[in-house]
Each structure stands twice: as C-alpha cells, then as structure tokens.
Structure 1
Amino acid sequence: MPFENLLLSSCLLPGQTYFKESQASVEVKPLTGETILFFNIDDQSNPGCKLRQFLWGTETGQKMCDLMVFYAKDSERVICFVELKHNIGHLGHATKQVINTYNTFKVHLKKSYTAKAFISACGGSSPREYKEYQRELLKEFGKNNFDINNRSNDALGDLLRGIPPKTGQGKRKNKK
C-alpha cells in the first residue's frame, strides 16, 4: 500500500485535524499554506484501514501506532507517527508502537520526507525509564523529530513545523 493508496483508503480522515482515542487527543490547527492529513491507521479503532495487513500480512502481534500525520508546506514533507495513551506510564509500549510502525512503513517509501514521532498522554506519572525511551526515539528519529507530550497545547503542530519542544515550563532559573 504505497502512500498514494493511503490517500484513497478509509485510513484517511478527510478534513480532520483532530483525533481522540480513549481520553487522549491531538489537534493541529493548519496555518496558511500548510497541508495536514490525518490517517487513522490502527485497525483496532478503524477496521476499514488495511495498512496492518499490507505491512505485516497475516503475521499477528505486531505493535502499530494510532495515527500517521502527513504535513506539507512549500517543499517540506513530514510523516509523523502518533500514539495516544490514557496514561504516560505506558510510554514504553507507545515507543515500541511508533518505532515499529515507522521501521516497517519506511521500506515502502522513497526517503523524500522527514520522519517524526509524537506520543501524547492525558495523565499519569512518567515511568522510571522515561530517559531510556527518549534515547530510543532520538536514535530512530533524530534530534527535534520527536516529542513526548502530556501538556495541552499545539505540541503536535509545533513538532510538525520544526519548532523544538518547550522544556522546563514552570521552572524558574536560579539567579546568581
């Protein structure tokens, strides 16, 4: 299922730049000149999407993320692999889902895009292995090409646009 076929499949969510699963959600408000396409690729929540069968055939047990988001502006092209979790404590599982989906999907595309990953959770406490999961995402996607977010703002839009994640919000710097 080349990317062109995804455009014609039931994976595409026409006109939607908002997605909710369980209690977690993501939204991107398109700016002038941007094209943003959401694809609900997980056949658990979208049985009509056949991407899993294309990527893995009859093999079962493969971890897959919830969404793929295509972003274009001028000559820039981004494909972002998105996983939503109710609890950030499931970060390890989410990390495996976005990496596995990307690694399997990328063999079917020419490398004429930037790959990114976005994991969002609406609650919970960060797992002890948080930094380990960050390293895995950094190794796979590169610096400034992933975000782990449990904040309510346009973090996915910022990631797609290449705006680095805001860190240390709410913390004061010590003055000398």
Structure 2
Amino acid sequence: MKGDIGGKGQKGNQGLDGRDGLPGKIGPIGLPGATGEKGGKGEKGEQATTISQPKSAFSVGYNVNPGRLPVSPMKYPLIITNFGNNYNKETGKFVCQHPGIYVFQLTSGSSNGNNILTIIMKNGQHIVSAYESGSGYKSASNMVVLDLVANDEVWTQPVSTSYNYYSSNVNIFCSFSGFLLYASA
C-alpha cells in the first residue's frame, strides 16, 4: 500500500558549476563614435630625419660568363642600380660617402663541378664568405650588415685561384648589392 507523502527535507550543498554553453550570435555593428578633437602640431623628430636621410643603394651583376677571375675585386660589368653613384664599376668597389649602417649581399654561381668561394671584403679585411661545391649548376650567397665611415671600401672577390670558376649569363647568376639602412647621427 502506498504511504503518506513525507515532509520537505533540508537544503543540500551547492553543486558544481555546469559547462559553458555554446557561443551566442555576434550582434550588429554599433554606430560610429563621435569625432575626436584635432590633435596639436607634432614635434620635429624621426619623420623629419627620415625625409632628409642620405640615400645610397646599388646592385651589379655579371650578364656575361666571367669564368676564372683574378684574386682581386670582382668588376661587375652590369650596373642594375647605382643610386648615389657609390659603386665604382672600374675598381669593383663600393666607396662609402654617407657614414651609417649598410647591408651587403652577394650571390655567386658556377657550373659543371666547378667550385667557388667568394668573400665580401671591407678595407682589405675578410668579412663573410659564400662557398659552394658539387656537380651541376649551383649558387651560393651571403649577407652582412656593416657599420661604415666615410671612404670605407667594400667589395667581393674570389678567395683563391683554386675555388674560382664563375658561371653567369643574361640570367645574372652572379650579383653584388648594398644599401644604406640608416645614416649615423
């Protein structure tokens, strides 16, 4: 037989929070805010310096096959860019006219099992190298950032007569580039 309904029990402890529900729909875009007040005149600073910064940049290359080269500055016959005329085609050297931080990059190519080892020189000092060996057509490149003062010279050259048979043509597999990143204060 079914008994009488019992009295109400005591309240239990609070349970754990349930899991988060699914994200709701994104609401509509609000109205644009009020126009702000006009700002004051800026101070003369970085922007003014950047506009008047000296400019120097060059890219040169071999558009003919150079073959074996002397261990001396490589004289690239093709001038792609020479902004500021700081690269001298006759000497193969970049001559700094604007002290500052510069970026230089070289790429060298060879073929038919000929190996090459090319270096970037600064004032007669070996800075970085690019080396490649093996069979077939190959290339090697390297890049360096240099702090230059007026009249510093930078160039590329083969390191020896042993690793020195370059290959290029109208596709310009051998090139040398540099540019002023920012001028010294």
Shorter-chain TM-score: what band?
under 0.3
More helix by share: 1
RCO higher in structure (CA 8 A, sep ≥6) = 2
Which TM-score applies when normalising by structure 2? Answer: 0.24
Q: TM-score, normalised on structure 1?
A: 0.25
Larger proportion of strand: 2
